[in-house]
């Protein structure tokens, strides 16, 4: 039976991806900073483990407890919306610790078993903001663009060992907690000269008339990335993501 470890399963993309793989008969190791047993359907193929991707010991414990897996999905991430002038370097480091370094650390932790078995898939969830620049997302975009570059380069060194690496790029997903989490992280401390720009950005988040990304779109893209060896390196997930990928 195939097994998958997914990070960031407490809500949004990770939670829906865990549900999706469970419904398709996979063994799912769903990891979260604060484990909750009530958010996924009970199953003898489900294990919920604590994991903080910024903590090396936490990563080691989770990977050891998970045992052999066939796929790793690096989905855990944090958001940040602010002008560069309004972002402290501590917050910059916090974003990169989770989004970038956490992804690299988790990948490094599972690669030995994939390489030795000459099989396995790493799927890294980034964002379509890496395809075109947007206001107030410079730090967040940089953290995700770094993962794109990391994944594409890593895929080359893994290919001789039969291990694949792929990217899933979601678009704007109003149903997830990204916006609320990002606002909490920035503390609403946008410098006054950028207030008008921020108002436009937040108004755009409230606009539901255009194409958007749903959590299920991301789950289905991850499914394809894991199960279809012929899929492209970058998979846009969501109607808006597909449009942006074509325009790019």
Active site residues: 140
227 by Cβ neighbours in 10 Å (0-12 / 13-18 / 19+) ranks as middle
Alpha carbons 157 and 153: distance in angstroms, whole number: 7
Backbone angles phi, psi at 173, to 5 degrees: -125, 85
28 forms bridges with which residues in the sheet?
4, 46
Q: Which two tokens stand for residue 129?
A: 């903001």
Q: Which two tokens stand for residue 113?
A: 């078993």
Q: At what angle do helices 215-227 and 12-23 cross, to 10 degrees?
A: 50
Are 82 and 190 in contact, with CB atoms under 8 Å apart?
Answer: yes
Alpha carbons 140 and 64: distance in angstroms, whole number: 30
Alpha carbons 106 and 119: distance in angstroms, whole number: 17
């Amino acid at each position: 039976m195939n097994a998958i470890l997914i990070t960031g399963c407490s809500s949004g993309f990770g939670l829906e991806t865990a549900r999706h793989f469970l419904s398709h008969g996979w063994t799912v190791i769903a990891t979260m900073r604060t484990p909750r047993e009530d958010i996924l359907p009970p199953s003898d193929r489900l294990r919920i483990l604590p994991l903080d991707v910024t903590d090396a010991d936490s990563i080691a414990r989770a990977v050891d407890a998970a045992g052999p897996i066939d796929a790793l999905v690096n989905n855990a991430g944090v958001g940040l919306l602010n002008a560069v002038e309004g972002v402290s370097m501590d917050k910059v480091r916090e974003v990169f610790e989770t989004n970038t370094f956490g992804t690299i650390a988790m990948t490094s932790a599972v690669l030995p078993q994939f390489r030795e078995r000459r099989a396995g898939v790493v799927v890294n969830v980034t964002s379509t903001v890496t395809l075109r620049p947007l206001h107030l997302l410079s730090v967040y975009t940089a953290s995700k663009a770094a993962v794109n570059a990391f994944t594409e380069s890593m895929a080359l060194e893994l290919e001789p060992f039969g291990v694949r690496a792929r990217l899933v790029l979601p678009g704007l997903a109003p149903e997830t907690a990204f916006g609320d989490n990002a606002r909490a992280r920035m503390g609403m401390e946008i410098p006054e000269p950028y207030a008008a720009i921020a108002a436009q950005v937040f108004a755009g988040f409230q606009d539901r008339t255009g194409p958007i990304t749903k959590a299920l779109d991301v789950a289905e893209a991850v499914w394809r990335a894991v199960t279809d060896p012929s899929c492209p390196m970058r998979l846009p997930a969501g109607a808006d993501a597909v449009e942006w990928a074509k325009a790019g």
